[in-house]
A and B are shown apart, each in its own frame.
Chain A
Amino acid sequence: MRGFPDGESMIVAEELTKIFDDFLAVDRISLFVPSGKVMVLLGKNGAGKTTTVRMLTSILRPSSGSARVAGFDVVKQAEKVRASVGVLTEHHGLYGRMNTEEYLQFFGSLYGLSARESMQRAVPLLERFDLQVARKKRLSEFSKGMRQKLALVRALLHDPPVLLLDEPTSAMDPESARSVRDAIVQLRKQGRTVLLCTHNLAEAEELADLVAIIHGGRILIQETPEKVKEILLGAPEFEVKLARPLDAWPSGLPAGVTLRESDGDRARFYIESPAQTNPHFLRWMLEQHLEVISFQEVPRSLEQAFLELVKERESGEVYA
Chain B
Amino acid sequence: MLDAVRPALIIARREVRDQFRDWRIIFPIIGLTLVFPFIMNWTAQQMLGFTREYGATIVADRLVPFLLMVVGFFPISVSLVIALESFVGEKERGSIEPLLNTPLKDWQLYLGKLLSSTVPPLVSSYLGMIVYLAGLMIRRITIPEGGMLVQIVVLTTVQAVMMVAGAVAVSLQATSVRSANLLSSFIIIPTAFLIQWEALVMFWGNQNLLWWVIVAVVILTFLLVRVGVAHFQREELLGRDIDVLKLPWIWGVFRRNFTGHARSVGDWYRQVLLRSLPRLTLPVLLSAGLALAGIWAGINLVDRFIVPTSSSTPEKFRESLMQLFGADSINQWSLARMIFFQNIRALLIGMLLGVCSFGVLGVLPLFTTMGLAGALGRAMVIKGLSLGTILSSLLPHGVLEIPAVILATAAVLQLGAVLLTPTPGQTIGEAWVAALAEWSRVMVGIVIPLLILAALVEALLTPHIALFFLQ
Contact = CB atoms under 8 A, between A and B. Distances in A.
In order of increasing CB-CB distance, the 5 nearest A-B pairs are A93-B95, A91-B94, A93-B94, A110-B102, A87-B101
A89 B98 contact: yes
Nearest to B20: A97
Interface stretch (A78-86, A214-222, A245-253): A78-86
Nearest to B234: A59
B234 A89 contact: no
B98 A92 contact: yes
Contact of B96 (A60, A63, A80, A93): A93
Contacts of A109: 10
A98 interface: yes
B428 to A, nearest CB: 12
Contacts of B252: 22
Interface string A242-267: 00000000000000000000000000
B275 interface: no
A95 interface: yes
Contacts of A151: 98
A111 to B, nearest CB: 6
Nearest to A62: B425
B102 to A, nearest CB: 4
A83 B425 CA distance: 23
21 contacts: A21-B246, A22-B246, A22-B252, A59-B97, A59-B101, A59-B234, A60-B234, A87-B98, A87-B101, A91-B94, A91-B97, A93-B90, A93-B93, A93-B96, A93-B98, A95-B18, A97-B18, A97-B22, A107-B98, A111-B102, A154-B98
Contacts of B94: 89, 91-93
A111 B235 contact: no
B459 to A, nearest CB: 46
A21 B98 contact: no
A94 interface: yes
A59 B10 contact: no
Interface string B218-255: 00000000000000001100111000001001001000
A287 B102 CA distance: 65
B10 A22 contact: no
Contacts of B10: 106, 109-110
A107 B238 CA distance: 20
B98 A83 contact: no
Interface in A67-121: 79-80, 82-83, 85, 87, 89, 91-95, 97-98, 106-107, 109-111
Contact of A98 (B18, B99, B234, B429): B18
Interface of A: 20-22, 54, 57-61, 63, 79-80, 82-83, 85, 87, 89, 91-95, 97-98, 106-107, 109-111, 151, 154
B21 interface: yes
A239 B376 CA distance: 103
A162 B193 CA distance: 53
Q: How large is the interface on B (under 10, 10 to 19, 20 to 34, 35 or more residues)?
A: 20 to 34
A278 B340 CA distance: 90
Contacts of A82: 101-103
A59 B238 contact: yes
B316 interface: no
A81 to B, nearest CB: 9
Nearest to A83: B103
B100 interface: yes
Nearest to A60: B235
A85 B239 CA distance: 22
B101 A89 contact: yes
B99 to A, nearest CB: 8
Contacts of A22: 246, 249, 252
B179 interface: no
Contacts of B96: 93
A63 B424 CA distance: 10
B379 to A, nearest CB: 54
Given A20-B240, A59-B238, A97-B21, 18 more contacts: A20-B239, A22-B252, A59-B97, A59-B101, A59-B235, A61-B424, A79-B105, A82-B101, A83-B103, A87-B98, A89-B94, A89-B98, A91-B94, A91-B97, A93-B94, A97-B22, A107-B102, A110-B99
Contacts, number: 75
B246 to A, nearest CB: 7
B154 to A, nearest CB: 33
Nearest to A94: B95
Interface in B416-449: 424-425, 427, 429-430
B14 interface: yes
A91 B96 CA distance: 10
A107 B100 CA distance: 11
A21 B427 contact: yes
A59 B91 CA distance: 14
Contacts of B427: 21
B103 A110 contact: yes
B144 interface: no
B425 to A, nearest CB: 6
A110 B234 contact: no
A105 B208 CA distance: 50
B307 interface: no
Contacts of B429: 21
B425 A63 contact: yes
A57, A89, A110 — most chain B CB neighbours (10 Å)? A110
B1 to A, nearest CB: 17
Contacts of A89: 94, 97-98, 101
Interface in B1-42: 7, 10, 14, 18, 21-22
B277 interface: no
Nearest to A86: B101
Given A22-B249, A61-B235, A93-B98, A110 B104 contact: yes
Interface string B69-102: 0000000000000000000001001111111111
Nearest to B430: A21
Which of B14, B101, B235, B238 has the most CB atoms of chain A within a 10 A radius of its CB? B101
B249 to A, nearest CB: 5
A109 B401 CA distance: 60
A106 B234 contact: no
A54 B234 CA distance: 10
B174 to A, nearest CB: 17
Contacts of B249: 21-22
Given A89-B97, A89-B98, A110-B10, A60 B103 contact: no
A54 B238 contact: yes
Nearest to A80: B103
Given A79-B103, A95-B18, A109-B10, A58 B98 contact: no
